[in-house]
Structures are given as structure tokens and as C-alpha cells.
């Protein structure tokens, strides 16, 4: 095979890979690479001011599910007493026939908390679009194409009517149809042509003290909270989570015990000082809660929400490399491919292994220094295609 044709085929393969990595089929490869870089780059992960209050096996053995409003009121009272910045609930606070007194106690505790986040669910219902609930903010500073955002026609689950004015509503919808680890989470949805926040984005807005009027959204680019936080998102409005972000975990029973110990003037058995100013989320983490793949382990929905908010708090966002960097890498891959033209098959194989190894080290160094994720499939795929073409050329001689 003549060198110009050889290099042209390698270049075409790179351009095709560059286009296809933006689509759903190959995107997980790049996300897996970003996670690998995050895990192996040596960049230390700082602890985030997020506290996950866990409803575990012991709590459910003591009080069967679903819990009553009183159980949730005790959490709000304890978290508020330890000066939590945001008191959030992952379980839906809705009951068919709640105890009126316990519901009133819960409402009172929520009104005393500094900021409260409650969960809901969006869905699809045939017929007309009912109006969006008044407690859901609508973003006005939206630019670009919103056509690929998840679109919904109905709010299918909301907190009890008695609690709706006691907290902010965020929607917990996840999209679990993808194979492999769940690394992305939606920050925005579309409803009746309006762009509205997810549970995670609403939580981040509350913690940062940002109003909807201060949020700027450009699908495929970013969500900007005021002037200080810019969150990269894809066209579907999803953010890449840093799953290794350290957060504080406290069992629900331990939190209540700490509140009782504090009221009696005794030192709590857990470090409740970490609740001060923190985003504090109550969520199930027991074995019966639906499980998700979170990196090398499984976790619950609440754990995923907590890690997503923690990623925003730390602003540890894995940023894709600019387009010009991808084209520069194509040129570098072509230079490596040019070495294969006159090399033996074993020589080409050795050169390919060395080139890929060096590239991985460079990618790790770049991520550790700047959190920029260099592309994987374009340069490595071009080298692989060049190696295959060199092998086929040798066989046909």
C-alpha cells in the first residue's frame, strides 16, 4: 500500500471516530477513560461539605418502611440543630393517610430549617400539559438548542400538600437504560417548553445561595451558577460525576443519638461538626434500596445524588479537551502511523505499544494538572487502524 493512501485511510478513521464519540454508542468509552484518569492520575480528592445521613439496615429493622412523618421530622430537627446549610430528603414525603399531628410536626421542623430540598418525579401522561407547580423554578437565561433535553409532560409525584410551601422541589429522575456504570446525572429537564432543575441542581443552587435568575444555561456547554461556578454539561443536560469525591456519612440513628447527647451536655459519639453549613441529605442505603453501579462498587440513588452535589461543591469537573487538541492529536497519530510504513510488523507493533503507553502517561499528567480529559478513541483508534493496515499490507505482499 502506498504511503499517501495508507495515511489517508488512517486520517479518515480518525475523523470518523471524532464524529462517533459524540454519539451514545461510543460516548461510554470516553466516560470510562475519564473515570480511569480520575482514579489513577494521583490527583487528591478533597472532602466536600456534603453529609449523607443513611437509612440503613438497623434503622429499617427498628422502624419498617415506609416511614412516618415523625421519623423525617426528627431528622430535620437534628440537622437544623447542628446548623446544616441545606436539609434535603431523597425519599418522597407523601403518604395516603398520614397522622395529622406528626405531619404538622414535620411541617414545623421544615419551616425552622434554613433551606429545605424535597424530591419529586416527572413522567409522561396522555392528554394536555397541566401547569407546572408554583414551587418549581423556571430558568429564563437559556441559550442554544434545548431539543435534546429530557422532555416531560406531567409531575407525577410531589410531596404532601401540607409540605409544599416548606421546601424547594427538585426532580429525581434518572435514566438507567444504559449498560455499565452510571457516571452522568441530569441537571436540567424540559417541561412544556420550559427548562427546570433536577434534584441535584436545585440542591447546588440552595447550597450556593443562587436564585434561578442568576443561573445561565447552554445545553452542550455549561450550567453557570452566578459568577462563581460553571458546570460542564452535555446536550442532554447531564453532568459527569466524580464518584471518588469523599463525603461524610452518618447513620440516622447516630445522628439522633448525637442530638440527644448534645442536649444533655455530653460529647456526641460522631463528628457532628461536619454538618455545619453542609448539604445534608437523608437517603436509604440499605441492601433493599435499588442499587446502581457507582464506579467499582454499588450504591443507592441517594449516594449518587450526594456525590453529584459534592462534585459541584468542590468544582472538580472533568473537562473535555478543546477541539483543537483533538486535531493536534490526529496529527501526532499520523506521525506515529508514518513510522509503520517501512517498519516490520513486529517493529510496528512495538512502536504502537510504546506510543499508546506514552500517550496514557501524558493524559494522566494533563488530567492531574488541569482536570482536562484528552480523548481516547481518536488517537488510540488511529494507531490501531494503522497497525491493522500495516499487518494487512504485509500479508498481501
pLDDT band at 356 (very low <50, low <70, confident <90, very high): very high
* Percentage of residues of the chain with pLDDT beyond 90: 56
Among 83, 81, 85, which Cα is nearest to 208's?
A: 85
CA pair distance 88, 282, nearest whole angstrom: 6
DSSP string, 282-320: EEE-STTSPPEEETTEEE-HHHHHHHHHHHHHHT-PPEE
Report the alpha-carbon distance of residue 169 to residue 136 in Å, rounded: 6
> What values do phi and psi take at 265, rounded to 5?
80, 15
pLDDT value at 230 more than 80: yes
- Work out the number of other CB atoms within 10 angstroms of the CB of residue 32: 14
In which band, very low, low, confident or very high, does the pLDDT at 179 lie, cut at 50, 70 and 90? very low
E-strand spans in 17-59? Answer: 50-55
Report, as an integer, the average pLDDT of 201-207. 97
Find the helix packing angle between 69-81 and 252-263, rounded to 10°: 60
Omega cis (within 30) before 66: yes
The whole-number average pLDDT for the span 55-72 is 92
What is the number of residues in the chain? 397
3-state secondary structure of 379: helix
Average confidence (pLDDT) over 157-183: 81
Give yes or no for residue 176 having a pLDDT over 70. no
The three three-digit cell numbers of residue 397, written as one number:
505482499
Dig out the grid coordinates for 308 from the structure: 453529584
pLDDT tens digit string along 301-338? 999 999 999 999 999 888 888 889 999 999 999 999 98
Cell 453549613 -> residue: 277
Q: Which helix (H) or strand (E) holds 169?
A: strand 168-171
pLDDT value of residue 292: 83
Beta pairing class for 188-191 and 248-251? unpaired
pLDDT at 127: 66
Distance CA 394, CA 344 (A): 8
pLDDT surpassing 80 at residue 26: no
Percent above pLDDT 70 for the chain: 95
- The mean pLDDT value of the chain amounts to 89
- Around 84, how many Cα atoms within 13 Å sit in the side-chain half-sphere? 31
The pLDDT tens digits of the residues spanning 79-108 come to 999 999 999 999 999 999 899 999 999 999
Q: What is the pLDDT of residues 282-301, one digit of tens each?
A: 999 998 888 887 766 788 99
Cβ(85)–Cβ(277) below 8 Å: yes
So what's the pLDDT on residue 357?
94
**Cα gap 187→291, rounded to integer Å:** 21
Please report the DSSP string for 128-165 in residue order. Answer: --PPPPTTS--B-EE-S--TTS-EESEEEE---GGGTT
pLDDT tens-digit map of 207-220? 999 999 999 999 98
Q: Where are the beta strands (DSSP E) in the chain?
A: 50-55, 86-89, 116-123, 141-142, 151-152, 154-157, 168-171, 184-186, 188-191, 194-197, 215-218, 222-225, 229-232, 238-240, 248-251, 279-284, 292-294, 297-299, 319-320, 372-373
324: cell is 483543537
Instruction: List phi, psi (to 5°) of 351.
Output: -65, -40
Residue 317: other Cβ atoms inside 10 A:
18
Helix, strand or coil, per DSSP, at residue 86: strand
Name which of 306, 352, 379 is nearest 49 in CA terms. Answer: 306
Specify whether the CB–CB gap between 66 and 95 falls below 8 A: yes
Amino acid at each position: 500500500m502506498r504511503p499517501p493512501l495508507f495515511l489517508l485511510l488512517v486520517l479518515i478513521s480518525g475523523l470518523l471516530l471524532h464524529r462517533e464519540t459524540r454519539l451514545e454508542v461510543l460516548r461510554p468509552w470516553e466516560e470510562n477513560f475519564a473515570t480511569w484518569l480520575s482514579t489513577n492520575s494521583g490527583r487528591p480528592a478533597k472532602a466536600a461539605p456534603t453529609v449523607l445521613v443513611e437509612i440503613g439496615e438497623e434503622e429499617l429493622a427498628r422502624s419498617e418502611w415506609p416511614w412516618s412523618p415523625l421519623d423525617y421530622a426528627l431528622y430535620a430537627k437534628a440537622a437544623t440543630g447542628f446548623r446544616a446549610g441545606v436539609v434535603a430528603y431523597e425519599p418522597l414525603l407523601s403518604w395516603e393517610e398520614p397522622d395529622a399531628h406528626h405531619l404538622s410536626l414535620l411541617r414545623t421542623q421544615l419551616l425552622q430549617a434554613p433551606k429545605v430540598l424535597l424530591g419529586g418525579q416527572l413522567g409522561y401522561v396522555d392528554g394536555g400539559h397541566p401547569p407546572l407547580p408554583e414551587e418549581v423554578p423556571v430558568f429564563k437565561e437559556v441559550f442554544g438548542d434545548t431539543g435534546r433535553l429530557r422532555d416531560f409532560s406531567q409531575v407525577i409525584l410531589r410531596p404532601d400538600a401540607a409540605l409544599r410551601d416548606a421546601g424547594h422541589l427538585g426532580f429525581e429522575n434518572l435514566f438507567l437504560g444504559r449498560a455499565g456504570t452510571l457516571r452522568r446525572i441530569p441537571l436540567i429537564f424540559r417541561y412544556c417548553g420550559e427548562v427546570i432543575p433536577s434534584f441535584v441542581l436545585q440542591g447546588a443552587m440552595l447550597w450556593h445561595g443562587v436564585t434561578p435568575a442568576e443561573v445561565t444555561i447552554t445545553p452542550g456547554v455549561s450550567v453557570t451558577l452566578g459568577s462563581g461556578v460553571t458546570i460542564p454539561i452535555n446536550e442532554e443536560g447531564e453532568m459527569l460525576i466524580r464518584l471518588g469525591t469523599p463525603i461524610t456519612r452518618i447513620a440516622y440513628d447516630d445522628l439522633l443519638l448525637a442530638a440527644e447527647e448534645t442536649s444533655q451536655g455530653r460529647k456526641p459519639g460522631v463528628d457532628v461538626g461536619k454538618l455545619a453549613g453542609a448539604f445534608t441529605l437523608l437517603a436509604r442505603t440499605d441492601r433493599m434500596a435499588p442499587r446502581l453501579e457507582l464506579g467499582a462498587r454499588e450504591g443507592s440513588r441517594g449516594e449518587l445524588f450526594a456525590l453529584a452535589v459534592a462534585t459541584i461543591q468542590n468544582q472538580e469537573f472533568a473537562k473535555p479537551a478543546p477541539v483543537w487538541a483533538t486535531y493536534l492529536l490526529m496529527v501526532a497519530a499520523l506521525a506515529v502511523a508514518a513510522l509503520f510504513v517501512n517498519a516490520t510488523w513486529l517493529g510496528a507493533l512495538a512502536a504502537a505499544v510504546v506510543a499508546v503507553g506514552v500517550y496514557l502517561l501524558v493524559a494522566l499528567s494533563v488530567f492531574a494538572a488541569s482536570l482536562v480529559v484528552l480523548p481516547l478513541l481518536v488517537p488510540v483508534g488511529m494507531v490501531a487502524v494503522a497497525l491493522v493496515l500495516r499487518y494487512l499490507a504485509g500479508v498481501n505482499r
